[in-house]
């Protein structure tokens, strides 16, 4: 059975108590920078919601402290969006992730070869 990605969603505002809309079970996730489309994170997991929740900053720290503690190469959560793809099992999620990773690598090789020609 073919699985499909959900729509892109902005990360919820943790200070407003908003929730992540993601499967509480196995699947894939993809996180990108909203403005540039740069891939920030991609993977498979046994609990998609928990994995995405780990990316949301801890709101118990004061915001100015979070700003200074943030590594320079990380994005603010408000700059990111995510989408998910549910799976029946972790093995199915892993299989889909491996297939997508292979396709991405092939695409990047073709693109690199075309730019050299």
pLDDT digits (tens, 9 = 90+) for 28-64: 999 999 999 999 899 999 999 999 988 876 655 545 4
Q: Tokens standing for 112?
A: 């690199």
What DSSP element (H or E) covers 92? helix 90-116
* Other CB atoms within 10 A of residue 15 CB: 9
- Cβ neighbours for 15, distance < 8 A, ≥ 6 positions apart: 59
To the question of domain 9-116 being in CATH 3.40.1440.10, the answer is yes
First-last CA distance in the chain: 39
Give the torsion sign (CA, 40, 37, 77, 3). Answer: negative
Tokens 């920030």 label which residue? 40
pLDDT digits (tens, 9 = 90+) for 57-75: 665 554 545 555 555 457 7
CA 85/CA 32 separation, integer angstroms: 15
Looking at the whole model, is its pTM more than 0.85?
no
Closest CA to 18 of 77, 68, 87: 77
């Amino acid at each position: 059975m073919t699985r499909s990605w959900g729509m892109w969603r902005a990360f919820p505002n943790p200070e407003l108590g908003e929730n992540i809309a993601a499967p509480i079970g196995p699947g894939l996730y993809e996180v990108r920078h909203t403005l540039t489309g740069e891939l920030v994170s991609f993977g498979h997991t046994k609990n998609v919601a928990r994995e995405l929740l780990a990316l949301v900053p801890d709101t118990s720290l004061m915001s100015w402290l979070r700003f200074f503690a943030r590594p320079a190469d990380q994005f603010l959560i408000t700059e990111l969006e995510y989408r998910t793809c549910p799976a029946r099992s972790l093995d199915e999620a892993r299989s889909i992730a491996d297939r997508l990773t292979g396709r991405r690598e092939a695409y990047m090789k073709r693109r690199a070869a075309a730019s050299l020609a």
